[in-house]
Amino acid sequence: MLKSETVRELAREAGFDAVGFTRARRAPHADGFLDWLAEGLHAGMAWLARDPHTRCDPRVTLPGAATVIALAMNYFCDDPPDPPDSAARGVIARYACGRDYHNLIRKRLRVLDRALAGMGGTQRCFVDSGPLLERDFAVAAGIAWHGKSTLALHPRLGTWFFLAAVTTTLEFEPDPPMPDRCGSCVRCIDACPTRAITAPRKVDSGLCLSYWTIEHRGPFPEWVREKLGPRIFGCDDCLDACPWNRFARESREAGFRARAASRLPIRDYLMLDEAEFRALFEGSPIRRAGHEGFLRNCCTALAHCGDTGDLPALDRVASGGLPMPAQHAAWAAAKIRAR
């Protein structure tokens, strides 16, 4: 069995803030995940239900896998000061204000892959884009515990970190799990604006505003429009509520700092055509919503935080050639005029 200290040091040098090792086996939460899918709580995220057993055991995607190396990278950055103008600005989930973490972390994982290959191992690397329940293995490897919001929590990083994993055929001594430190706290559950956390460690995606603003591709139902508030991409309410975040420190990765593109007035986003949207958010997680989805989000948010100065932009979208954003723009404009 190999010693892990060399890999730990390489991971820290590559920019990861926590590293842990656990045996490659069926995920501890596998049955819970399969039950969650059976209840339909993944909403429109159909890919989660495709061959779900593959996600539950890393030995399926890497025959001979012996170890899962779980990794965490801090993305917390202080919010930039508000611009001096009074134009309405939307709320964007903190993780999406900077560079897309997938590309940034993949580069760091390649460093570990090469090192492990030099030790004789065969690897597969995951960063929220492959069939692996990263959170389960992060908890098993002792770099986090499973919070009541369903997020992984860390005593120094709070909720503000990305997870990644490397499965390898090399065998390392496993680390002990971290104790659950949520105690009796339910602040995350109480903070959810739509009660999407239906029980400790259980989320109904069909109630979650992050799901609606990022993954959903059609119009918003009326209840989502009324609940959205100023959010234009994602929702951090359950993360913001966690008391462990008082220990969070600034990320050492400059790429996670908020870009100017994430701080524009909402009305400016409504002026973007598809090519301009793609150019403005090149290398940003916000591109996942798509141009029409982002316009839909922005129009709906203005119904809550906009004023008459936003009406020309809304009217432009309402009379444009994109039916879904036009529907939401007309609804938002009517709300503002009624106020």
Q: How is residue 244 annotated by DSSP? A: G
Asked if residue 292 belongs to a domain, the reply is yes
300 occurs within a structural domain: yes
Residue 18 bridge partners (DSSP): 72
Per-residue CA distances from 187 to 33, 90, 135, 204 (Å): 24, 24, 21, 17
- 131 in the same domain as 21: yes
Residue 237, phi then psi, degrees to nearest 5? -60, -45
User: Are residues 329 and 211 part of one domain?
Assistant: yes
Residue 179 lies in a domain: no
Query: Confidence class of residue 303 from pLDDT cuts 50, 70 and 90?
Result: very high
Terminal CA-CA length for the chain: 68
Residue range of the domain that includes 215? 194-234+264-338
Using DSSP bridges, classify how beta strands 197-199 and 67-74 pair: parallel, antiparallel or unpaired.
unpaired
Based on the fold, state whether residues 201 and 161 are members of the same structural domain.
no
pLDDT mean over 331-338: 97
Task: Specify if 287 maps to a domain.
Answer: yes
DSSP label at 211? I
> Both 227 and 85 in a single domain?
no
Same domain for 215 and 312, yes or no, is: yes
Does residue 173 belong to any structural domain of this protein?
no
Entry field: residues in the chain? 339
Q: Give the whole-angstrom CA distance, residue 270 versus residue 311.
A: 11
Average pLDDT over residues 34-57: 95
Look up residue 91 and give its DSSP letter: E
* Active-site residue list: 128
Residue 37 lies in a domain: yes
Tokens read off for 22: 């656990």
pLDDT at 178: 96
- Has residue 98 got a pLDDT over 90? yes
Please tell me the predicted confidence (pLDDT) of residue 76. Answer: 97
Domain C-terminal end among 110, 134, 168: 168
DSSP character at residue 179: P
Instruction: Say how many domains are in the chain.
Output: 2
Q: Check whether 84 has a pLDDT greater than 80.
A: no
Residue 9 has which token pair?
């040091």
Using DSSP bridges, classify how beta strands 202-203 and 123-126 pair: parallel, antiparallel or unpaired: unpaired
Which element (helix H / strand E) includes 118? Answer: helix 101-118
Please indicate, yes or no, whether residues 229 and 291 belong to a single structural domain of this protein.
yes
Q: What are phi and psi of 118, to 5 degrees?
A: -65, -20
**Do 205 and 127 belong to one domain?**
no
Give me the percent of the chain exceeding a pLDDT of 70. 100
Last residue of a domain, one of 168, 186, 219: 168
What was the pLDDT predicted at 1?
Answer: 73
- Rounded to the nearest integer, the mean pLDDT of the chain is 96
Tell whether 28 and 155 lie within a shared domain: yes
Residue 276 lies in a domain: yes
Cα-to-chain-centroid distance, residue 179: 24
Do 154 and 43 lie in one domain? The reply is yes
* 199, 97: one domain: no
pLDDT band at 102 (very low <50, low <70, confident <90, very high): very high
Q: Is residue 49 part of a domain?
A: yes
Co-location of 200 and 146 in the same domain: no
Residues 202 and 160 in one domain: no
